[in-house]
Amino acid sequence: MKFIAFVSAKGGTGRTTLAANLSDILSREGHRVLALDCDPQNALGTHLGMVPGLRVGISEGSTSDEIIEYLSAQQGGVPYIPFGARDRDELLHAESTLMADPGWLLRRVLEVVPPAIELVFIDTPAGERIWTERVLEMAHAVVSVHLPDAACFATLPVMTAMLERRGRGSEPAPLVRHLLNQMESRSKLACDAEFLLRRHLGERLLPCSVPRDPVVSEAWAKQLSVAQHGPTTGAMAAFREISEILQAALLVDLQRNTSSGLQQAGES
């Protein structure tokens, strides 16, 4: 099981939309994928059929049995675990638990996610939050999402510092890739921002930017995936390319581990 985190320094970059749609694409291709919401906004599930305001979720306040029951009740589509609707005090309490017990989230995830799942796409809150920090500690890959605008550029040092800290941890550093979302190729600022980002990040910036496309927002409003609502759009083409890159980076490695594990089991 591998964890892919979607992070960004500021809100509104499209982390949730990317996590939902990339998990949908890989699920349609037959991979065993699960979407996990670690963002207190509790919005990831609304892409995937959840009723807004649902209480059950990964955050403290729901039991593991409740989450497993909710997962098993889902019919079709990408299985998902919401964050869970929580009030302010509950959020503060959950955050203090995460601060005091760094392993809490990973234990919880391993308790509730079926072991057959290959990839877990994790949505995180914007900026430096304890939820993001804990997700980064367990992530095998990180997709840092940017918009080609002034605000995103201004917050880029915050995000790179956060990812560098994670890279210095004792565990193997995750694969980190940056992604430009909602690219507007008619905007001079957007083009210059993309150019400068590429100069700074080199191959860490994914070659495929996601174009700004109203179909993405429309799909969400219809509680459909972009694959369902706009299968021939430019945004969908970019999503496909990104999913292929993630597959190449993670699933091949995963299959290699699995087959070597089976080989070892056979030898013993």
Partner 1 sequence: MAKDERSFSKQLIPPAKVMSNNIDCTSSIPECGPAAHESSSGMQPVESIGATSVASDVAALLAAVGGEQMQYIEFSSVRRELEARKRWPLLNLVSKLLNKKEMPADVTKPVALHKEGVTI
Q: Contact residues for partner 1 (CB under 8 A)?
A: 150, 153-154, 156-157, 160, 183, 185-186, 188-189, 191-196, 198-204, 207-211, 234, 238, 241
**C-beta of 97: minimal distance to partner 1 in Å?**
33
**C-beta of 109: minimal distance to partner 1 in Å?**
32
**C-beta of 158: minimal distance to partner 1 in Å?**
10
Q: In what order do the strands lie in the sheet with 2-7?
A: 80-81, 33-37, 119-123, 2-7, 141-146, 175-180
* Closer Cβ to partner 1, 99 or 161, answer by number: 161
* Closer Cβ to partner 1, 110 or 189, answer by number: 189
Q: How many helices (H) and strands (E) does the chain have?
A: 12, 6
Q: Which one-letter DSSP state was computed for residue 211? A: B
Q: Which residue has the tokens 């945004």?
A: 235
* Closer Cβ to partner 1, 88 or 199, answer by number: 199
**DSSP states of 8-24:** -SSTTSSHHHHHHHHHH
**C-beta of 29: minimal distance to partner 1 in Å?**
21
* Closer Cβ to partner 1, 88 or 186, answer by number: 186
What is the Cα–Cα distance from 84 to 25, expressed in whole angstroms?
A: 24
**C-beta of 208: minimal distance to partner 1 in Å?**
5
Q: Which one-letter DSSP state was computed for residue 209? A: P
List the one residue out of 186, 166, 162 whose CA is nearest residue 174.
166
* Closer Cβ to partner 1, 77 or 234, answer by number: 234
